[in-house]
């Protein structure tokens, strides 16, 4: 890892406490620390602001794109930070406008049609109340978050600053973030967590059995950690676990739930309130979800759990550090998934394992100006083997959902791959590795325990 390591987090805890995030006092025990460990990639974070912006680039700038001076980097990052805060603040206006439109359209119907739907306007009132409640939680999330990163200041909140309309893209991200609370921190998300996180956690325990090793010495990284539940669960099992996340939407929210929520099911969100289609019952749209289903501050004493902020590819460059990298619904977030494979290979200790579960819904596929290399699983597997990984476990069909509305008339099912790939134990010569030319897929040993 680079300079901002866990020990740096510890040293700086007093800085965090002095900023007034009182719940962060517990950080001494749990080390739920958010650290900006490398540049946010503004090109990525700002993607999709407007169609015009998206179409501007004619080339496909790669990883070094848009590199500018450190001052300019810092300015852009601050700008992006405030843009996301503004999105949280604009939420209510945005959704209420949507509800107003529905009301206007209803009122434009002939009276005889309106009379058939006596529950329609009362339901809209209920929807408005749900949006207000969501808004309250969103404001609580961004309250005080200007000081949440121990090593980065974003300036003081200026009430005079005008909150302009946010892009549809950012509003969609915010609505997805609300749904992510269901997946990670509600009782309603348990079934989904059991299908996605449980296989990963069981595999971790199989690889590093608590009865055979000191699990507190096993270092596990979860890139693309979302709201942090998987990383938290791994730490709860006693392993030393770090989540890494890149989106401010997720980071603000995970900071809130991990550091500032300590009463089970004390908070309410209405995650499905934005869904106007595919509802069987009107009340399905306005049903509440409570969180957190478990007190995030209940990790055992001396747990080693942290979160870092930044682009996985930029944060994790030090070789041979991690015993295990666990990825869940992550590898398809890459512009070029080979970059992820290369980084995972590099940062794993010799003999370390990469455990993966997820689909291949490439995030940049439909963004015209963004590089997006969409490989099949077959191609990814070939590359993994060429890097020198040994594929020890492979299940090609694990059915899961992702932030599913289980009462919707439209539901998506992901047919995920699950695999365990081990980095061979031979010490690399220079830290950075390239694919082992000439190693054919067939030559790599593989014990397929999928059926067991
Ligand atoms: C589909 S979500 C999965 C979240 C979580 N693993 C889960 O299963 O619920 C992918 C996550 O990866 C994050 N992400 C995407 N690219 C990233 C990068 N380069 N570095 C760190 N996080 C990234 C996204 O912000 C998002 O939260």
CA distance 72 to 70: 5
As a whole number, the mean pLDDT across the chain is 84
For residue 435, the model assigns a pLDDT of 54
In 10 A of CB 415, how many CB atoms? Answer: 10
Q: Which of 226, 310, 364 to mutate to test the pocket of ligand 1 (most atoms within 8 A of CB)?
A: 226
For ligand 1, atom 16, the nearest C-alpha belongs to 333
pLDDT score recorded for residue 145: 85
Q: How far is the CA of 237 from the centre of ligand 1 (A)?
A: 22
Q: Which residues pair with 309 in a beta bridge?
A: 36, 245
In the structure, what pLDDT confidence band is assigned to residue 147 with cuts at 50, 70 and 90? confident
* Mutation pick for ligand 1 pocket among 37, 250, 329, 330 (CB with most ligand atoms within 8 Å): 330
Find out whether 419 and 389 touch, Cβ atoms under 8 Å: no
User: Whose alpha carbon is nearest atom 25 of ligand 1?
Assistant: 247
Q: How far is the CA of 330 from the centre of ligand 1 (A)?
A: 5
Question: What's the confidence (pLDDT) of residue 74?
Answer: 87
Ligand 1 center–CA 60 separation, angstroms: 22
Could you give the percent of the chain with pLDDT greater than 70?
A: 78
Lowest mean pLDDT, pick from 34-48, 213-227, 231-245:
34-48
Calculate the alpha carbon distances from 448 to 131, 328, 341, 419 in Å. 49, 20, 20, 10
> Which alpha helices (H) appear in 359-401, and where do they start and end?
377-387
For residue range 369-427, what is the model confidence (pLDDT) as tens digits?
999 999 999 999 999 999 999 999 999 999 999 999 999 999 999 999 999 999 988 65
Counting from 1 in the atom list of ligand 1, the atom nearest the Cα of 327 is: 6
* Distances 21 to 16, 18, 204, 262, 267 between C-alpha atoms, Å: 7, 8, 33, 14, 19
Under the banding of pLDDT at 50, 70 and 90, the label for residue 146 is: confident
Closest ligand 1 atom to residue 334 Cα is 16
Which of 176, 190, 246, 412 for a ligand 1 pocket mutation test, highest count of atoms within 8 Å of Cβ?
Answer: 246
**195 has pLDDT over 50:** yes
Please determine, for residue 443, whether its predicted confidence score (pLDDT) is greater than 90.
Answer: no
Q: Which residue's CA is the closest to the ligand 1 atom numbered 14?
A: 224
CA distances from 147 to 142, 150, 302 (A): 10, 7, 25
**Which is higher by pLDDT, 6 or 117?**
117
Of residues 66 and 13, the one with the higher pLDDT is: 66
> Residue 450 has which token pair?
């999928």
pLDDT at residue 358 greater than cutoff 80: yes
**Confidence label for 273 from pLDDT (cuts 50, 70 and 90):** very high
Rounded CA gap, 398 and 328, in Å?
12
Peptide bond into 292 cis (omega under 30): yes
What is the tens place of the pLDDT at every residue in 307-340? 999 999 999 999 999 999 999 999 999 999 999 9
pLDDT recorded at residue 57:
37
Mean per-residue pLDDT, 219-244: 98
Query: How many angstroms is it from 224 CA to the middle of ligand 1?
Result: 3
For ligand 1, atom 27: residue with the closest CA: 226
CA pair distance 350, 134, nearest whole angstrom: 46
Determine the distance separating the centroid of ligand 1 and the alpha carbon of 131, expressed in angstroms.
26
Residues 6+ apart with CB under 8 A from 235: 241, 299, 303, 304, 305
Name every protein residue with a CB atom under 6 angstroms from any ligand 1 atom. Answer: 183, 196, 223-226, 244-247, 250, 311-313, 328-330, 333
Is residue 92 within 8 Å of 131, Cβ to Cβ?
yes
Residue 34 phi, psi (nearest 5): -105, 120
For helices 120-142 and 70-107, give the axis angle rounded to 10 degrees.
170
Q: What is the pLDDT of residue 163?
A: 74
DSSP collapsed to 3 states, 31-83: CCCEEECCCCCHHHHCCCCCHHHHHHCCCCCCCCCCCCCHHHHHHHHHHHHHH
SS3 418: strand
Q: Compute the distance between CA of residue 38 and CA of residue 4 in angstroms, rounded to an integer.
A: 9
Please state the φ and ψ torsions of residue 223, each to the nearest 5 degrees.
Answer: -75, 150
What is the C-alpha separation between 324 and 331, in angstroms, rounded? Answer: 15
Q: How confident is the model at residue 261 (pLDDT cuts 50, 70, 90)?
A: very high
Q: Does the structure show a pLDDT above 80 at 204?
A: yes
Q: Check if the beta carbon of residue 356 is closer than 8 Å to that of residue 329.
A: no
**Looking at the predicted structure, is the pLDDT value of residue 12 above 70?**
no
With a cut of 60, say whether residue 357 has pLDDT above it: yes
Determine the distance separating the centroid of ligand 1 and the alpha carbon of 245, expressed in angstroms: 6
Give the pLDDT band of residue 34 (cuts 50, 70, 90): low
For residues 339, 48, 251 and 218, what is the CA-based torsion angle, rounded to 10 degrees? -10
Lookup result for tokens 């009182």: 22
Report the separation in Å between the CA atom of 428 and the middle of ligand 1, taken as the mean of its atom positions: 28
Read off the DSSP letter of residue 292. -
Contact 244, 224 (CB under 8 A): yes
Interval between CA 222 and ligand 1 midpoint (Å): 9
Indicate the top mutation candidate among 224, 311, 361 to test ligand 1's pocket, ranked by most ligand atoms within 8 A of CB: 224
């Amino acid at each position: 890892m680079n300079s901002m390591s866990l020990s740096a987090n510890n040293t700086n805890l007093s800085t965090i406490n002095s900023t007034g995030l009182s719940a962060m006092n517990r950080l001494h025990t749990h080390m739920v620390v958010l650290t900006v460990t490398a540049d946010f990639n503004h090109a990525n974070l700002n993607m999709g602001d407007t169609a015009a912006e998206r179409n501007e680039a004619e080339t496909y700038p790669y990883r070094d794109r848009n590199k500018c001076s450190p001052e300019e980097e810092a300015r852009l990052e601050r700008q992006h930070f405030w843009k996301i805060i503004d999105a949280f603040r604009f939420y209510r206006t945005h959704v209420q406008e949507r509800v107003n439109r529905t009301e206007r359209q209803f009122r434009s119907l002939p009276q005889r049609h309106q009379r058939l739907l006596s529950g329609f306007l009362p339901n809209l009132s209920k929807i408005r109340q749900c949006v207000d409640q969501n808004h309250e939680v969103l404001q609580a999330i961004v309250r005080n978050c200007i000081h949440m990163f121990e090593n980065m200041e974003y300036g003081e909140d200026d009430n005079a600053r005008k909150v302009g309309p946010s892009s549809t893209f950012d509003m969609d991200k915010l609505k997805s973030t609300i749904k992510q609370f269901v997946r990670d921190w509600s009782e309603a998300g348990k079934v989904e967590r059991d299908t996605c996180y449980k296989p990963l956690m069981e595999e971790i325990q199989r690889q590093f059995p608590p009865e055979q090793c000191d699990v507190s010495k096993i270092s596990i990284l979860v890139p693309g950690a979302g709201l942090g539940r998987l990383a938290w669960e791994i730490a709860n099992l006693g392993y030393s676990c770090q989540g890494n996340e890149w989106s401010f939407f997720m980071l603000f929210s995970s900071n809130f739930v991990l550091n500032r929520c300590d009463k089970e099911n004390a908070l309410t969100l209405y995650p499905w309130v934005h869904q106007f289609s595919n509802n069987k019952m009107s009340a399905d749209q306005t049903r509440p979800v409570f969180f957190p289903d478990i007190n995030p501050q209940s990790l055992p004493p001396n747990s080693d759990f942290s979160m870092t902020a930044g682009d996985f590819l930029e944060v994790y460059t030090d070789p041979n550090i991690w015993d295990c990298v666990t990825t869940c619904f992550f590898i398809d977030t890459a512009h070029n998934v080979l970059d992820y494979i290369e980084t995972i290979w590099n940062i794993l200790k010799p003999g370390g394992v990469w455990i993966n579960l997820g689909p291949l819904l490439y995030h940049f596929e439909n963004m015209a100006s963004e590089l997006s290399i969409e490989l099949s699983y077959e191609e990814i597997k070939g590359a993994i083997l060429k890097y020198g990984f040994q594929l020890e476990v492979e299940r090609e069909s694990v059915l899961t959902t992702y932030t599913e509305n289980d009462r919707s008339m439209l539901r998506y099912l992901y047919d995920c791959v699950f695999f365990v790939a081990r980095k061979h134990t031979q010490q690399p010569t220079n830290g950075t590795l390239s694919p082992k030319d000439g190693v054919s897929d067939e030559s790599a040993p593989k014990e397929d325990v999928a059926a067991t």
